[in-house]
Amino acid sequence: MWRERALFLILLLLLHHICASKDDQEQHLCPPSSCGKISNISYPFRLQGDPEKCGNKRYELGCENNVTVLYLHSAKYHVQAINYNNYTVRVVDPALQLHNCSSLPLRSLSRSNFSDTYTYYTDTYQAGLSSYENWESLIFEHIVFVNCKHTVRENVKYVKTEECVKWDSKGYAYAVVGDLKAEDFEVGCDIKLVAPTSLRSLNNHSYTSMHWGLAYGFEISWINLACQNHHYCPLRFCYFDSASQNLDCQLLSELDLN
């Protein structure tokens, strides 16, 4: 009995493999679509209105007023670049204007909005480059906006946003790069907004630089889909290795040691 079962299972797996690779090939046969400055929209992405068989429905992009739009957690973001080499797409909040340091994102967004932060994925996009929690491969840095009842002088992480951002007439507005640890919390301060950036050359002592970072946008990845399609890691986790620019496998225990 077990033999028939095993054979059946193998057949099923084989069939699944054949179907999956056929799907994949067809999707790759579609010519790239284009919208505004994003001229190379191809698998896994598709543009609204593309033929049914093109791309993956979960990665459908819109084209609004000649701007490529990505839908993330029921919010809209403008696509700045798609990097097929490392499975990332860089997006920016539509309210951010490069030359207006008073412009702010419409919505808060942080790593905690992505399920890969805690556990196995189900989301379309990930905030990291591993199919399992891996803090080493963080691709975004947080900028935290705080409003305080008093001035904060003792903590160098608190950078004044005066001129640019003001929350109310009495408060003192600051921005902080990175995560606010317990020891960084100041009494009488409220967190107003958290926004990510993937700009590497961020100067954490200058609000102008933080604003450039926000306007540059942040990278999210489709690493889980890439891993499912092309890289099978038996009893291990698949991740993107930036040194080799390839997908690789890693044991869970190796991850935990890092």
Ligand X SMILES: *[C@@H]1O[C@H](CO)[C@@H](O)[C@H](O)[C@H]1NC(C)=O
Distance in angstroms (rounded) separating the CA atoms of residues 53 and 175 = 45
Site string for ligand X, 174-193 (x = CB under 6 A): ---xx---------------
Q: Which stretch binds ligand X (CB under 6 A): 15-23, 36-44, 145-153, 185-193?
A: 36-44
Which range touches ligand X (CB under 6 A), out of 10-18, 98-106, 145-153, 166-174? Answer: 98-106
Closer to ligand X at the Cβ: 5 or 153?
A: 153
What gap in Å lies between CA 232 and CA 226, rounded to an integer? 10
Per CB under 6 A, the list member of 151, 206, 208, 242 interacting with ligand X is: 242
- Minimum Å gap between C-beta 4 and ligand X is 42
Should residue 86 be labelled a site residue for ligand X when binding is judged by CB under 6 A?
A: yes
Among 21, 40, 151, 208, binds ligand X (CB under 6 A): 40
* Pair of tokens at residue 242: 């930036």
Q: How many binding residues for ligand X (CB under 6 A)?
A: 28
Residue pair 46/56 in contact by the 8 Å Cβ criterion: yes
- Residue 56 contacts ligand X per CB under 6 A: no
Q: Which is nearer to ligand X, 4 or 154 (CB)?
A: 154
Q: Is 100 near ligand X (CB under 6 A)?
A: yes
Is 122 a residue that touches ligand X (CB under 6 A)?
Answer: no
Q: Give Cα separations from 104 to 65, 80, 150, 229, 252 (angstroms).
A: 21, 17, 23, 37, 39
Of the residues 21, 25, 48, 83, which one makes contact with ligand X according to CB under 6 A: 83
Which residues, 6 or more positions from 54, have their beta carbon under 8 angstroms from its beta carbon?
Answer: 27, 30, 33, 43, 46
Based on the number of CB atoms within 10 Å of its own CB, is 194 exposed (0-12), middle (13-18) or buried (19 or more)? buried
The DSSP-derived string for 1-66 is -HHHHHHHHHHHHHHHHHHHHHHHHHHHHSPPEEETTEEEE-TT-EETTS-TTSS-GGGEEEEETT
User: What is the residue whose two structure tokens read 């840095």?
Assistant: 141
Pairing of strands 237-241, 218-221: unpaired
103 counts as binding ligand X under rule CB under 6 A: yes
With binding defined as CB under 6 A, does residue 71 bind ligand X? Answer: no
The binder of ligand X chosen from 33, 80, 88, 147 (CB under 6 A): 88
Q: How many whole angstroms separate alpha carbon 253 and alpha carbon 196? A: 29
Contact 111, 126 (CB under 8 A): no
Number of neighbouring beta carbons within 10 Å of residue 52: 7
CB of 30 to ligand X, least distance (A): 10
Least CB distance from residue 65 to ligand X, whole Å?
Answer: 8
By CB under 6 A, residue 166 contacts ligand X: no
Binding residues for ligand X (CB under 6 A): 32, 36-37, 40, 42, 66, 73, 75, 83-86, 88, 100, 102-103, 107-109, 113, 129, 139, 157, 177-178, 204, 219, 242
